[in-house]
Structure 1
Amino acid sequence: MTSTRPYRMSARAAAAAVTRERIAAAAEHAFSTEWYDDVTIRGIAHVAEVSEQTVLNHFSSKDELCAVAFERWTGAIDSRRAEARSAGVGPAVSLLVEDYELTGDTTLRMLAVEHRVDSIRPWLAQGRREHERWVASAFAGALEGLSSDERARRLAQLVVVTDVYAWKLLRRDRGLEPDEVAAIITDLVRGLHR
């Protein structure tokens, strides 16, 4: 009997981990495709095929579920963008546009409610910091040899031309194809390499 108990406990732990992963994946999908206000614990439970109580046993609130979704997005974004750090301007911008094709609409929905949903503000602030770090790394050549004031101004310019809103204006508002968006943003970034 002693030898079967640890097995049962590890089997339970493994099952709990699988359940938690299903819930996290359902939350990521929900927050990726719906407005924050439309996401419910009931809906996440339904997609994860568990009860609402099971969701709450793993994650204490909708805000915690949203935090898990943000953690998952952040990891995926970092992985995709890491490839661009030494790729050159054109390939870096192409990777950025590919990333926005996957995450842009979700990001825009989150930005639209940032002013009234306190729990997402820290995640969006982190995303802004990470984007600026990525820009500074991916387009380091545009920042070389500048004074600190010039560097700060140039970095701000690069952040603006590579921001998700630039993608939105070109892709969603003007209806351009991803390769056209990448070409325009590449031209803008190259224009800042002087």
Structure 2
Amino acid sequence: MSDHRPRLSRAEQRRQTENRILAAARHLFATLGYDRTTIRGVAAAAEADPGLVMRYFGSKDALFARVAEVAPDRPVAGTPEEVAELLLASMADKLESDAPGALAMLRSMLTHPDTGDEVRAAIAEQQRQVAAALSTDDAVLRAGLIGALTVGVLLSRHLLHLEGVRDAGAAEIVSVLRPAVHAIAQGTAAPDPRRDH
């Protein structure tokens, strides 16, 4: 019995192989981290030759950069209230996705400092936009605190698997955090109770 499936072109074969390699690399970087992931291990998981991995991607660093590419967030603009809601929606998106690329990036940036450059650049750009939209004198601090809160929540869910954060729905987490993010974005602050004594 003959096989009537159309033969794949070389370009299609290459694309399929690249996708298999990227999927294997995403999984290994996410589970093992940067240092313990090897080209040979990626090749074995992708059922490809290590030389092919090197030919397609050039180096482990270049392969990691492809796996951990940071998708740009939506531009941040508007009133402080609107900015808070944009940031909460972005957080919900990141919480809902399985995000193996993000997990690979988070795990590896903690153990391999160079891999965090792209992430820091993306976060810094968003924080500049947030600070520009806030009307307080300490807008840079407030933007940084919202960024730190977001990174902490994502680390707690995707990497540390902290009880509660790991199992809650994205909508529930965002609902609990909404008053805090709005308070930070809108410039409200609680007085220090120690000053009353």
Aligned mates of 1:122, 1:66 — CA distance in 2: 12
Aligned to 2:164: 175
The secondary structure found in structure 2 opposite 1:82 is coil
Greater relative contact order, per chain length (Cα 8 Å cut-off, separation 6+)? 2
Aligned to 2:119: 124
Amino acid at match of 1:158: I
Report the Cα offset of residue 96 of structure 1: 0.6
Q: 1:130 and 1:97, CA in 2 relative to 1: closer, same or farther beyond 3 A?
A: farther
Aligned to 1:160: 148
Q: Which of 174, 177, 183 lines up with 1:191 in the alignment?
A: 183
- The root-mean-square deviation of aligned C-alpha atoms, in Å, is 3.4
Normalising by structure 2, we get a TM-score of 0.65
Amino acid at match of 2:109: L
| Comparing 21-30 and 124-133, the one that deviates more | 124-133
- After superposition, residues 75-90 of structure 1 pair within 5 angstroms as 75=71, 78=72, 81-82=73-74, 88=82, 89-90=84-85
Contact 2:68 2:104 in 1 (8 A): no
| Comparing 27-36 and 60-69, the one that deviates more | 27-36
Where in structure 2 are there 5+ consecutive unaligned residues?
1-7, 188-197
Contact 1:114 1:121 in 2 (8 A): yes
Q: Deviations over 1:141-190 (max 9, x none)?
A: xx03x4xx43223322332333x114445884452424443233212111
Amino acid at match of 1:24: L
Aligned mates of 1:167, 1:25 — CA distance in 2: 21
The secondary structure found in structure 1 opposite 2:138 is helix
Report the Cα offset of residue 106 of structure 1: 3.6
Structure number with higher helix proportion:
1
Where in structure 1 are there 5+ consecutive unaligned residues?
1-9
Amino acid at match of 2:181: V
Amino acid at match of 1:64: A
The secondary structure found in structure 1 opposite 2:176 is helix
Aligned mates of 2:173, 2:75 — CA distance in 1: 19
Aligned to 1:4: none
Contact 1:45 1:55 in 2 (8 A): yes
Aligned to 2:57: 59
Report the Cα offset of residue 107 of structure 1: 4.1
Contact 1:161 1:188 in 2 (8 A): no
Equivalenced residue count is: 168
Aligned mates of 2:30, 2:128 — CA distance in 1: 24
Q: Deviations over 1:43-73 (max 9, x none)?
A: 21123221111111212221111111122xx
Q: Percent identity?
A: 26
Report the Cα offset of residue 90 of structure 1: 4.6
